[in-house]
Amino acid sequence: MISFPNCKINLGLHVVSKRADGFHNIETIFYPVPLRDALEINVAKNNSGPDVQFTSAGLPIPGDTSNNLCVKAYEILKTDFPALPPIAIHLLKAIPMGAGLGGGSADGAFTLKAINTKFELGLTQEQLLVYALQLGSDCPFFIINQPCVGTGRGEILEPISLALEAFDLVIVNPGIHVNTGWAFSQLNLSSYSPDGEGSLKHSVQQPVSTWKDILTNDFEEPVFSNHPELLQIKNSLYTSGAVYCSMSGSGSSLFGLLPKDVKILPTFSTHYLVKRVKL
């Protein structure tokens, strides 16, 4: 069985407060983007090996395989469905890791959905959301996989109507790793409340031409201060004609919404990953 996990961008991101469990309450707008990995799941041919035989190609995946979210997704389901057979997972990685695009979270969530379908587990969307949250805060979004307001840790999801087909999306990833824990530690949490006219939910319903001034990402100030190169990327996208640019998540990917008649992009360093996709 083959599926194609897509990435996401954050249209604005506010960190509201630190929670007693060590996580943070946030408000953001998740938007799915058709930049995809490819995920193949089959019953393992060799039943004498480990329960999950994981291989990958494409972009390198750092870390131990046992910590991969695809593997963890199988293990979580195996606990409740012990009759699941050993499986072979092959992941073709095209979404850069640690880039604020949710690529790893997408892979884990799509693994849950694929196993549910392939082995006819009968799990509802609500049940899949519970499993996905065990994998990570961004994973539940990829179960729903449509524009959503995300609050709480990001797992409280409210689908919204938001169409950006009039624009192309340019994603620029410079290969800079931003430690998420460090990024959170740099924030001065305010009394911001994700309600009313100042909320991202309200702001994203305004004309896209106004987003530059009202849709903001709290991580940009400390991350740009530490990595001025990222601010230069954002400014270059605006100079080239983008109507809205932002950093996604805690970085380091930047994105810009470009009118379709804007054909010429700025020239970036050759080691940058630059993708233009239709929304």
pLDDT digits 0-9 by tens, 259-273: 998 888 888 999 999
User: Does 3.40.30.10 match the CATH number of domain 167-278?
Assistant: no
What per-residue string of b and e applies to 110-137 under the rule 16 or more CB within 10 Å gives b? bbbbbbbeebebebeeeebbebbbebbb
Give 45's pLDDT tier (boundaries 50, 70, 90).
confident
How confident is the model over 67-102, as pLDDT tens digits? 999 999 999 999 999 999 999 999 999 999 889 999
**Residue 163 scores a pLDDT above 80:** yes
Q: Into which CATH architecture does domain 2-159 fall?
A: 2-Layer Sandwich (3.30)
At residue 206, does pLDDT exceed 90?
Answer: yes
Task: Give residues with Cβ within 8 angstroms of 191, minimum separation 6.
Answer: none
pLDDT tens profile 146-156: 999 999 999 99
Residue 196: pLDDT over 80: no
Specify whether 138 is catalytic.
yes
What are the strands of the beta sheet with 24-36, ordered from one edge? 6-18, 24-36, 148-151, 156-159
pLDDT at 35: 96
Q: Which residues pair with 3 in a beta bridge?
A: 39
CA–CA separation, 246 vs 211, rounded Å? 10
How would you classify the pairing of strands 254-259 and 52-58? unpaired
* pLDDT for position 197: 67
pLDDT at 242: 95
> Does the active-site annotation cover 195?
no
The pair of three-digit structure tokens given for residue 116, joined into one six-digit string: 């549910």
Percent of residues, the chain, with pLDDT higher than 90: 79
Q: What is the mean pLDDT of the segment spanning 7-30? A: 92
- Cβ–Cβ under 8 Å, residues 258 and 245: no
Tell me what pLDDT residue 221 has. Answer: 94
Which of 138, 168, 218, 234 is catalytic? The answer is 138
Grouping H, G, I as helix, E, B as strand and the rest as coil, residue 117 is helix
pLDDT digits (tens, 9 = 90+) for 99-148: 999 999 999 999 999 999 999 999 999 999 999 999 999 999 999 999 99
Q: Is pLDDT above 80 for 194? A: no
> For residues 106 and 61, is the Cβ–Cβ distance under 8 A?
no
pLDDT at 267: 87
Domain assignments of the chain as residue spans, ordered by start: 2-159, 167-278
pTM: 0.93
In this predicted structure, what is the pLDDT of residue 46?
A: 79
pLDDT (tens digit per residue) in 220-256: 999 999 999 999 999 999 999 999 999 999 989 999 9
Strand partners, 224: none
Check residue 152 and give its pLDDT.
Answer: 93
Q: When comparing pLDDT for 184 and 47, which is higher?
A: 184
Instruction: Round to whole Å and give the CA distance between 156 and 40.
Output: 29
Helices (H), the chain: 69-80, 103-118, 125-135, 139-144, 180-185, 200-203, 211-214, 220-226, 228-239
Q: Which neighbouring-strand residues pair with 90?
A: 40, 55
103-118 vs 69-80: helix crossing angle, rounded to 10: 40
Give the pLDDT confidence score for residue 209 in this predicted structure.
94
